[in-house]
Amino acid sequence: MKKIVFSVILAVAALSSGSAFSQAPDQADEIIRGRYQAILADCGACHTAPGAKPLSGGRPLETPFGQLIPPNITPDKATGIGNWTEQDFRRAMKIGIGHDGKRLYPAMPYPAYTKMSDQDIGNLWSYLRTVEPVFNPVESNQLPFPFNIRLSMLGWNTINFEEGTFKPDPSKSSEWNRGAYIVQGPGHCGTCHSPKTFLGADKTDEALQGASLQGWYAPNITGNPHIGIGSWNEDEIVQYLKTGANAHTIASGPMAEAIQASTSLMTDEDLKAIATYLKSTEGGSAEKPQPLAASDPHMTAGAAIYHDTCSACHGGEGKGARQLFPALAGSPLVQQPSAETLVRLVLNGSQAVATPEARTTPSMPSLGWRLSDQQVADVLTYIRNSWGNAAPAVQPSDIAGQR
């Protein structure tokens, strides 16, 4: 009997701690707003490993400098951020210095989060306090010498980092400013989509113009009409971010994950603001290069492969089928300077992401078994230079590395 009483007490104690509703009522709004900040900032993308408890530490990030493991940011005192103060958290978000003065690596996108408002960071902190604490020790720093010396980030910050909250541009609409805030701040779009310097910092003068990371090419998402998203209207951009698919394309790879965990859960107003801002950005030459001649031997071989292997879904003229098979003709992704993502899609196949508004997940089969490196290169060269598309030819050596 004693045992039963004891376990009941234990259960009640467990239920009452860690629940949002045990907080003071005036905090509830703050926590709900903070949860939305966690969606905007997509904390889970890095800090939640597949199948693990939310924010209890992520799967390893492969950076050009070595491996980093995103830490446990649940309120667990021993292995999470349970010992942090709100002041510690603000410093981490604003200037990349954590508890006990430990310097964070900029894989944690504090160069973007520094633009977040004090209120948004405060709300996010309130929310993080309510997450279920999970005991999960993570050794984040897996970098080789000399990158494993955290103090070196002092120098990095001097060169690459500018602290400061986002400053609205009074000459633009409030919608544009909201979009710019999300894209540059919590949304940290540039972390993937902006080209990097040799030190791994964003090239601010080429922001959002496309970059390679973890075996994918995050495409140009500026308003460039040829290789950016300039040819999509705002509703199409919103639809893409909300559902993972629109009339032109279907998301794949890390963007599919970002859509599932983050953008599909954003409000329509915020998605509209993001679309307004992105369409206003400029990036890269608006001039289209000349396509390769259709008589080029790689183009004729590529055409044969295309018609025998790809056209059944993507259509003889590369038009695809709405919401089901992405169009290749006129696709900005197809015409990026790098074909890295395309190679990956052909070799691995791909599956569309399931979002509340698009639950069917059409998928592309893996074709790596059917095509040699030369054939993958030729068929990609063909789709990059047909139906009005124009982009550099793909070489077999671009494929070998991804096998």
Partner 1 sequence: METHCLKRPTRRQFLSSVAFTVLAASSGPVLARSISGSLPWEARSADPPIQVRPGGWLFFTPEEVSTMEAVADRLIPADELSIGGKDAGCVVYLDRQLVGSYGASSRLYTRGPFMPGLPTQGYQAPDTPAQRYRTGLAALNAWTRDNKGGKRFFELSPDDQDATLRDLEAGKITLADNVDAKSFFNLMLSNVMEGFFADPIYGGNKDMASWKMLGFPGARYDYRDHVTKHNQPYPLPPVSIAGSTEWMTR
Nearer residue to partner 1 within complex by CB, 280 or 361? 361
Which residues contribute to the annotated binding site? 43, 46-47, 189, 192-193, 310, 313-314
- Rounded distance between C-alpha atoms, residue 179 and residue 248, angstroms: 22
Nearer residue to partner 1 within complex by CB, 256 or 278? 256
Q: For 332-391, give the DSSP string.
A: TGGGSS--HHHHHHHHH-EEPPPBTTB----EEPP-TTT--HHHHHHHHHHHHTSTT---
User: What tokens appear for 402 in the block?
Assistant: 């991804």
* Cα–Cα distance list, 88 to 84, 92, 97, 102, 262 (Å): 6, 6, 8, 10, 25
Residues near partner 1 (CB under 8 A) are 297-298, 300-301, 304-305, 307-308, 311-313, 315-317, 347-351, 353-354, 359, 361, 363, 365-366, 368-371, 374-375, 378
* Cα–Cα distance list, 396 to 32, 348, 373 (Å): 51, 16, 5
Residue 399 Cβ vs partner 1, minimum distance, rounded to whole Å: 14
Nearer residue to partner 1 within complex by CB, 111 or 302? 302
Q: Taking a C-beta distance cutoff of 8 angstroms, is the pair 57, 130 a contact?
A: no
Q: Tell me the residue type at 66.
A: G
Q: What is the DSSP letter of 205?
A: G
Q: Across the strands, what pairs with 250?
A: 245
Residue 371 Cβ vs partner 1, minimum distance, rounded to whole Å: 8
> Which residue stretches of 85-189 are H helix?
86-95, 110-113, 118-128, 152-160, 174-184
Nearer residue to partner 1 within complex by CB, 21 or 369? 369
Which residues contribute to the annotated binding site for heme c? 43, 46-47, 189, 192-193, 310, 313-314
Residue 131 Cβ vs partner 1, minimum distance, rounded to whole Å: 22
Nearer residue to partner 1 within complex by CB, 7 or 372? 372
* Cα–Cα distance list, 364 to 242, 318, 352 (Å): 21, 15, 9
Nearer residue to partner 1 within complex by CB, 122 or 244? 244
Residue with tokens 């060269």: 381
In Å, the largest CA–CA distance within the chain is 87
Residue 21 Cβ vs partner 1, minimum distance, rounded to whole Å: 27
Q: Taking a C-beta distance cutoff of 8 angstroms, is the pair 149, 244 a contact?
A: no
Please give the distance of CA 152 from its chain centroid, rounded to a whole number. 26
Residue 350 Cβ vs partner 1, minimum distance, rounded to whole Å: 8
Residue 316 Cβ vs partner 1, minimum distance, rounded to whole Å: 4
**Residue 49: half-sphere exposure toward Cβ, Cα within 13 Å:** 14
Residue 62 Cβ vs partner 1, minimum distance, rounded to whole Å: 16
